[in-house]
Amino acid sequence: MKPVFTPLEEIAYFLEGEDGRLVIQGLMPFVREIEEQIEKLKKAIPLHLTEGTLQKYLDMDGIKTDLKRYISESGLLVGYNWEDWMEGKEMLDGVRPLSKINKIKACKMLTLVIRRDASEFGYFEYHLKKGTILDLLKKLLEKEGLS
């Protein structure tokens, strides 16, 4: 699986173009599957689900490889200096809120997660189970423009 990186200066055009819209629509089955897994767990454990509970009991084995491949090959990854992007690292670490990001930052965040997973095995799965990936995918699926 060879990742496809869209240059940072071109990602906005990609996301608003026909190819980008098709790629983003292709995320929908993954979002549904993740939400179904969370609902199954909520029904099985009718208590408030903490991050630790999600990490321990969510089974994402059936989706994580396909989702990671799809994201990597789709053009949603951004070519930028991810190692120096402190804002993104702080959002992933919970220091800054994730709720205020736009679609370009969502792509940068996905890039950061995929890149860090290459050196920190399990980083992608951790953020998949934590719900970060779901939040980023939902941001990309929002109907309004790049904001």
The DSSP result for 85-103, as a single string, is -HHHHHHHTTSS-STT--H
Per-residue model confidence as pLDDT tens digits over 92-116: 998 999 888 999 999 999 999 999 9
Cβ pair 76, 105 in contact under 8 A: no
Q: State the average pLDDT for the chain.
A: 92
Per-residue model confidence as pLDDT tens digits over 56-92: 788 898 899 999 999 999 999 999 999 999 999 999 9
Cβ pair 5, 108 in contact under 8 A: no
For residue 70, give the nearest of 143, 123, 4, 13 by alpha carbon: 4
Q: Determine the 3-state secondary structure of 59 from DSSP.
A: coil
User: How many other CB atoms are there within 10 angstroms of residue 94's CB atom?
Assistant: 11
Strand 5-7 with 77-79, pairing? parallel
Question: What is the average pLDDT across 117-129?
Answer: 94
pLDDT at 26: 98
- C-alpha pair distances (Å), 137 with each of 74, 84, 141: 13, 23, 6
The residues that bridge with 78 in the sheet, in sequence order, are: 6
pLDDT at 54: 73
pLDDT band at 44 (very low <50, low <70, confident <90, very high): confident
Residue where the block lists tokens 């993740």? 34
The DSSP code for 8 is G
pLDDT band at 46 (very low <50, low <70, confident <90, very high): confident
pTM reported for the whole predicted model: 0.92
pLDDT band at 31 (very low <50, low <70, confident <90, very high): very high
